[in-house]
Amino acid sequence: QVQLQESGPGLVKPSETLSLTCTVSGYSISSGYYWGWIRQPPGKGLEWIGSIYHSGSTYYNPSLKSRVTISVDTSKNQFSLKLSSVTAADTAVYYCAREGGNLPNEYFQHWGQGTLVTVSS
Amino acid sequence: AIRMTQSPSSFSASTGDRVTITCRASQGISSYLAWYQQKPGKAPKLLIYAASTLQSGVPSRFSGSGSGTDFTLTISCLQSEDFATYYCQQYYSYPTFGQGTRLEIK
């Protein structure tokens, strides 16, 4: 059974870079599927950030594209998110997830438990 | 971006009721639609994809229908564990979600 676990700092200062890692168990990232990041501000809805394939192909939300980098480390079975120049508006629970289809940017079949990242000085 | 609008935003119902949640896309998305259930403090859980395909392990009281711009999620006989927030998500273009529908106990 595939499991995902987010890790990283829970507090980031404004203008700095948010960095999170998702560790996958029960499935090899190299075997396929697309792997994504989704966030949810406290009390609000869900926003897709971007997704990656094991080959390194990336897809980003156009509204965040200039600040987002997603990378993959197949040797560690992990993928990572970097979001630069953060502001308070980036405060959210960040989820990593595995997509369910064979094409990029589809639905999200398996989710991590989420990690709250607060942007504050 | 394709905008997804859910209705109602919240409502209350009783155990055993049949309930329907509606999701409308700002443009046609064929059947590229998924539904999720989220409980407080938990990650969303995939219920339905391709508008009407039930995710493995999801009870058959959940069903989805629609294509183009109008979609519905129906719960045929509400159980206590179904009180949660529900989101639709399109994947015709880059993924976007509806604002959520909160289902509360009457």
- Kindly report, residue by residue over A57-95, the tens digit of the pLDDT: 999 999 999 999 999 999 999 999 999 999 999 999 999
Chain B contact present for A112, CB below 8 A: yes
Residue type, B77: C
Chain A contact present for B83, CB below 8 A: no
Mean pLDDT of all residues belonging to chain B: 97
CB contact under 8 Å between B91 and A100, yes or no, is no
3-state secondary structure B30-79: CCCEEEEEECCCCCCEEEEECCCEECCCCCCCEEEEEECCEEEEEECCCC
Residues of chain B with pLDDT under 70: none
Using pLDDT thresholds of 50, 70 and 90, give the confidence band for residue A101: confident
Using pLDDT thresholds of 50, 70 and 90, give the confidence band for residue A102: confident
What are residue B71's DSSP bridge partners? B23, B66
Run of H or E residues at B23: strand B19-25
pLDDT at A104: 87
Scan for tokens 């504050």, then name that residue. A120
Output the six-digit token pair for B9: 């935003």
Chain B contact present for A5, CB below 8 A: no
Closest CA to B40 of B102, B105, B84: B84
Using pLDDT thresholds of 50, 70 and 90, give the confidence band for residue A9: very high
What is the distance, to the nearest Å, from the Cα of residue B1 to the centroid of all Cα atoms in its chain? Answer: 20
